[in-house]
Structure 1
Amino acid sequence: MTEQGQQRGLRGEWGRLVQAAPTIFFWYTRLSGILSLLAWVSYGLILEIADIWALRWIGYLGWFPSVPIGLLWILLSMGVRRRKKAAWRILVLIFCLPTALGVTAVLTTLFNPDRPTPVGLIVTAAVYLAVLGLLISARGQFTTLPDRGNRRLATVVFTSLLVVTCGIGTFLVTVTDRNSRGDFWTHPLYAISQTVLGPRVTGKPIDVSVPFWVDVILWVLGTGLLIATFWALFRPGRRDPVLSPPEELAARALLAEYGDQDSLGYFALRRDKDVIVAPNGKAAIAYRVEGSVSLASGDPLGDPESWDQAIEAWLGECRAHAWIPGAVSVGERAARIYKRHGFDALELGDEAVVDLTDFNLDGREMRQVRQAVRRVERAGYTVRIRRHSQIPGWEMAKLIRSADAWRGEETERGFSMALGRLGDPTDGRCVMVEAFDAHGELRGL
């Protein structure tokens, strides 16, 4: 193989390693967190685990015998798995400090002829440099868009809880300290160190003597502080589901041309949904984000030949925000297309659509339906059918009050099969069906 070919091969291997970096650092942070928790529980147990060579380097580079630190690693691994930019920045900061210390220690011993340079120190510094270089090279792999709201919330949560926990901790240490010779600054310093690192870790260099239950309380406060802060920082990006006027116009245009393909298509116009349009403008997907899930509603709108483009655009949005994609109430054709994009399909039921052009009550199989219709007719019931645009405003207000009274407080059918509104001026072509008894009283709509 030529030298140029070897260089291309090395670049290819490095490129594959960079692409795998999020997975590598996910497992690194996850295992570091587990080892930190185990080390806090039993240092002897961690020494036995360290005999497994594959975990020795992880333990040497990452774990620390502390419950808060262990939880920090585990929570950080969740952000790494979601490819959060904030998680990448935190990893860089974490590795910069030991890398700088390792390189400084190596350089210090190299320029001191009286002190030999330990091989282990050189290896450690080299490993840190390689890991940091891989992490920096993998910056482009952490593509999840940052959420400024998350950063603001995390800052507020951390600052508020830190003040509260340190205040409570300082009070407890001051009240229970059995060593009265300590300086005034030792109590808040001890409270902060125990809160961040956990019991059994610090305290000996500080002239403080408190009962162990105080350390446990400080540890619980610190653990809650870290969990709340990292939850706020790494929670999925949120978006208020609001159907903007341009989105509604795009959806209505697609429904006007292709709306007869899906009986649930009109429900894409709920105001608590978002609509993403395919690059060619011929298809769109209505969806809503709940927690970490982006849920598409019904079949994609528009030309079926462009559904793939709409799904790709929506999946790109999911990847950008670390949302988990899902779809509900889709038809058979749409389900097959979703499966092409990596989805699993689950059949929930059949759709019943009555074609009025050839529907009738004749035949043996329609006997029960025929009997039910005749009972209603004998009772004197009548039906009135109108478009919403044909109903006067005062009458529509009365119908809305009747609907609210009959429906009660129960949850409606769901965002994929209901509009969640009645009497909206934009729904003028919707159909209102009213049933009256023999005395002309409204009995159902």
Structure 2
Amino acid sequence: MQPEVRPSAPVSKPEERPSRFAGSKFGRDYYDRVPGIVATVTSITGFLNLVLALMPRERDHLHQIHDYLPASISAGAASVLAVSGLLLWRLGTMLRRRKRRAWVGALTIYAVLVVAHIGNGTFIAAGVSFVLFLLLATTGSRFRAKADPVSRWVALKIAVQFELVAVVWGMLLLTLASNRRFAFPPSVWQKVQEVLWGLIGVDGPVRYSARSERFQDVLHATLGAFSLITVVIVVLLILRPAEPIGGLSAQDESKLRELLAKQGARDSLGYFALRREKRVVWSPTGKAAITGRVVNGVFLVSGDPIGDPEAWPGAIAEYMKQIREYGWVPAVIGCSEQGATVFRREADLSAIELGDEAIVRPCEFSLDGRPMRGVRQACTRVQRAGYEVQVRRASSVSREEFHQLDRAAASWRGDEVERGFSMALSRLGDPADDQCVVATATQGGQLKGLLNFVPWGPDGLSLDLMRRDRGADNGLNEFMIVQVIEQASDKLGVDRISLNFAVFRDAIERGERIGAGPILRAWRWILVFASRWWQIESLYRFNVKFRPEWEPRFLSYPSTRDLPRIAVAALEAEAFITRPHRLKRLVGRA
């Protein structure tokens, strides 16, 4: 039975500078919603400025002041609209996360836009920009989040985004232009060349008519401005001092191992907190900790907090403090019902069931009976083929053998990336992991399969790695798992074994039953379809063979609108979405 978690006081938020409206309910609600409102308006404004710079009718307003301003100045005003629109579109997401630097940048851009709209003859738009400038200026206290730790990958990503927008914008401008602006109608390829050459300040193959000097000035001035602002931003990001991205220090790892020695039996995912790329957040007493990783502005935590449940609120308070400090989105993947309850109470995070964890009790496991016929037949077939399985603690495996196992596992994986975040350790044979359990399968002295289990307290194991030679007989994985289960109690002193995590198991299981409704059947069809790329249904089918107990696991999140962002961050953390290795090497993150 899980010990009861004592209630504690709600997490207090840092004091904000009061405003004249802060005392009223309207004032509190308004100021709480300011970042979202400003972010949405800023993104829309950026898009509208890009569209405004494309509209020929609006550009003709330049002729109203043609007698007073040189063509170069009016063309520059039009280019400012387009570039400002691009920057505001990019800043919208950062403003939603309350980033201080994004607030300063947006405030500056709105001030420039007021002048640019006046120079462009669009006075209504100038008034709107001024109102938005005042909105930002009066709500600066709500934007206090620090900038994220940076890497060169961010600079490359922004450069690609900006240049793609520039190419699309230039192609739209040339496509929407009437034929009277050209000496002869250009082809699509000529337009593409014109835009690409324009990004580096060179005339392309398109020939313009004598009456389109202003159009040509606007096109080349805007493309040049796009390239200039891209170079400036990329250089600033590259030269900006890098902040620590996080990682498990030797001292943190030692303290986490002490907590796991005392409280590690509580959560089967606890040992995976020792992944060394994770950052750790400690409670003030040091009796509990939260580990996770920041991915695309989402601070992903896997499993429950480590340590004494009575100290969990303190660790969650420190976690939420970092969330507010950097403007990150909080998310917890695979927490237990107890963990989801505590995160709900202490951090106001909602929860949805993400799937189920398969847990096998060795003392209750048997291959007898009709339900186990498939596994029994697979094991008999593999055993007759001459396979043998050896189950050992990692402390009994030599360094040389671990090197061979590591090479074999990498070879069997092939070109696929190493997946895992919430239920994978991503290392093999580390001297600090001497209590792990390794199962190896051989045929005629040749290594054919490998399993690695991490400790789950003093009497449990949690599956970490499962690999086999692609030329090995089908059923080898089942045979290795059965051998571990049968030797668990007597040889290893293990009473429970956690197998793979089955995402959305309940939907897959209930969706195929007679009487399932159309919505449930449609949801199951989507999951089965997604299984072509991700192991959703196949993991469920594999786990259910062993007749396990199912323990629900939950996803904790702040609001529904954050779920798409959290889903993308989780897929990247689990390596289902990966960045090309060649690009990583180019930006120094190999």
TM-score by length of 2: 0.49
Q: Which amino acid aligns with 1:215?
A: V
1:327 offset after TM fit, Å?
2.8
Change (3 A) 1:19 1:396: closer
Q: Is residue 381 of structure 2 the alignment partner of residue 402 of structure 1?
A: no
Could you say which residue in structure 2 is the equivalent of 1:169?
A: none
Task: Provide the C-alpha distance between the structure 2 equivalents of 1:247 and 1:76, rounded to a whole number of angstroms.
Answer: 35
Specify which of 344, 350, 357 is matched with residue 343 of structure 1: 350
Could you say which residue in structure 2 is the equivalent of 1:67?
A: 82
Does structure 2 conserve the Cα–Cα contact (< 8 Å) formed by 1:382 and 1:435?
Answer: yes
Q: Percent identity?
A: 39
More helix by share: 1
Specify which of 339, 347, 353 is matched with residue 359 of structure 2: 353
Structural mapping, 1:65-144, within 5 Å: 66-90=81-105, 138-144=139-145
Task: Provide the C-alpha distance between the structure 1 equivalents of 2:379 and 2:106, rounded to a whole number of angstroms.
Answer: 70
Q: Which amino acid aligns with 1:67?
A: A
Could you say which residue in structure 2 is the equivalent of 1:59?
A: none
Q: Is residue 287 of structure 2 the alignment partner of residue 282 of structure 1?
A: yes
Specify which of 402, 422, 434 is matched with residue 416 of structure 1: 422
Q: Which amino acid aligns with 2:305?
A: P
Q: What stretches of structure 1 of length at least 5 have no aligned partner?
A: 1-7, 47-63, 100-123, 166-193, 196-208
1:297 offset after TM fit, Å?
1.9
Task: Provide the C-alpha distance between the structure 1 equivalents of 2:389 and 2:54, rounded to a whole number of angstroms.
Answer: 73
Could you say which residue in structure 2 is the equivalent of 1:248?
A: 253
Task: Provide the C-alpha distance between the structure 2 equivalents of 1:430 and 1:150, rounded to a whole number of angstroms.
Answer: 34
Could you say which residue in structure 2 is the equivalent of 1:114?
A: none
- 1:282-322, CA deviations, whole angstroms, 9 ceiling, x for partnerless residues? 32222112222222223322233443443343233223222
Structural mapping, 1:145-164, within 5 Å: 145-146=146-147
Change (3 A) 1:71 1:398: closer
Change (3 A) 1:251 1:45: same
1:131 offset after TM fit, Å?
7.2
Q: Which amino acid aligns with 1:407?
A: R
Could you say which residue in structure 2 is the equivalent of 1:221?
A: 224
Task: Provide the C-alpha distance between the structure 1 equivalents of 2:140 and 2:295, rounded to a whole number of angstroms.
Answer: 28
Q: Which amino acid aligns with 2:380?
A: R
1:129 offset after TM fit, Å?
11
Change (3 A) 1:261 1:43: same
Could you say which residue in structure 2 is the equivalent of 1:317?
A: 322
Change (3 A) 1:292 1:24: closer
Does structure 2 conserve the Cα–Cα contact (< 8 Å) formed by 1:283 and 1:304?
Answer: yes
Does structure 2 conserve the Cα–Cα contact (< 8 Å) formed by 1:288 and 1:296?
Answer: yes
Could you say which residue in structure 2 is the equivalent of 1:383?
A: 389
1:429 offset after TM fit, Å?
0.9
Instruction: State the number of aligned residues.
Output: 347
Does structure 2 conserve the Cα–Cα contact (< 8 Å) formed by 1:284 and 1:301?
Answer: yes
Task: Provide the C-alpha distance between the structure 2 equivalents of 1:149 and 1:276, rounded to a whole number of angstroms.
Answer: 20
Q: Which amino acid aligns with 2:289?
A: A
Partner SS for 2:354: coil
- 1:391-443, CA deviations, whole angstroms, 9 ceiling, x for partnerless residues? 22223323333333333332234122221111111111111112233x44433
Partner SS for 1:345: strand
Change (3 A) 1:92 1:373: closer
Could you say which residue in structure 2 is the equivalent of 1:103?
A: none
Instruction: Specify which structure has the bigger relative contact order, considering alpha-carbon pairs within 8 angstroms and separated by 6 or more residues.
Output: 2
Could you say which residue in structure 2 is the equivalent of 1:187?
A: none
1:74 offset after TM fit, Å?
3.3
Could you say which residue in structure 1 is the equivalent of 2:331?
A: 326
Partner SS for 1:347: strand
Does structure 1 conserve the Cα–Cα contact (< 8 Å) formed by 2:149 and 2:244?
Answer: no
Greater Cα shift, 33-42 or 254-263 = 33-42
Q: Which amino acid aligns with 2:411?
A: A
Change (3 A) 1:425 1:148: closer
1:31 offset after TM fit, Å?
5.2
TM-score by length of 1: 0.63
Does structure 1 conserve the Cα–Cα contact (< 8 Å) formed by 2:150 and 2:237?
Answer: no
Does structure 2 conserve the Cα–Cα contact (< 8 Å) formed by 1:75 and 1:227?
Answer: no
1:352 offset after TM fit, Å?
2.0
Task: Provide the C-alpha distance between the structure 1 equivalents of 2:268 and 2:258, rounded to a whole number of angstroms.
Answer: 16
Does structure 1 conserve the Cα–Cα contact (< 8 Å) formed by 2:84 and 2:109?
Answer: no
Could you say which residue in structure 1 is the equivalent of 2:499?
A: none
Specify which of 286, 292, 296 is matched with residue 291 of structure 1: 296
Q: Which amino acid aligns with 2:372?
A: M
Does structure 1 conserve the Cα–Cα contact (< 8 Å) formed by 2:406 and 2:428?
Answer: yes
1:27 offset after TM fit, Å?
5.2
- 1:109-155, CA deviations, whole angstroms, 9 ceiling, x for partnerless residues? xxxxxxxxxxxxxxx9xx989976x756644321211458589x98x
Does structure 2 conserve the Cα–Cα contact (< 8 Å) formed by 1:339 and 1:345?
Answer: no
Does structure 2 conserve the Cα–Cα contact (< 8 Å) formed by 1:277 and 1:283?
Answer: yes
Task: Provide the C-alpha distance between the structure 2 equivalents of 1:34 and 1:77, rounded to a whole number of angstroms.
Answer: 11
- 1:70-123, CA deviations, whole angstroms, 9 ceiling, x for partnerless residues? 333333443332212113334555688999xxxxxxxxxxxxxxxxxxxxxxxx
Task: Provide the C-alpha distance between the structure 2 equivalents of 1:413 and 1:373, rounded to a whole number of angstroms.
Answer: 27
Task: Provide the C-alpha distance between the structure 2 equivalents of 1:232 and 1:318, rounded to a whole number of angstroms.
Answer: 28
Specify which of 26, 31, 36 is matched with residue 49 of structure 2: 36
What is the aligned-residue RMSD (CA, Å)? 4.5
Q: Which amino acid aligns with 1:414?
A: G
1:35 offset after TM fit, Å?
4.9
Q: What stretches of structure 2 of length at least 5 have no aligned partner?
A: 1-18, 60-76, 115-126, 167-197, 200-211, 451-590
Partner SS for 1:260: helix
Could you say which residue in structure 2 is the equivalent of 1:52?
A: none
Does structure 2 conserve the Cα–Cα contact (< 8 Å) formed by 1:33 and 1:74?
Answer: yes
1:251 offset after TM fit, Å?
1.9
Task: Provide the C-alpha distance between the structure 2 equivalents of 1:327 and 1:231, rounded to a whole number of angstroms.
Answer: 32
Partner SS for 2:280: strand
1:375 offset after TM fit, Å?
3.3
Task: Provide the C-alpha distance between the structure 2 equivalents of 1:337 and 1:411, rounded to a whole number of angstroms.
Answer: 34
Task: Provide the C-alpha distance between the structure 1 equivalents of 2:325 and 2:54, rounded to a whole number of angstroms.
Answer: 38
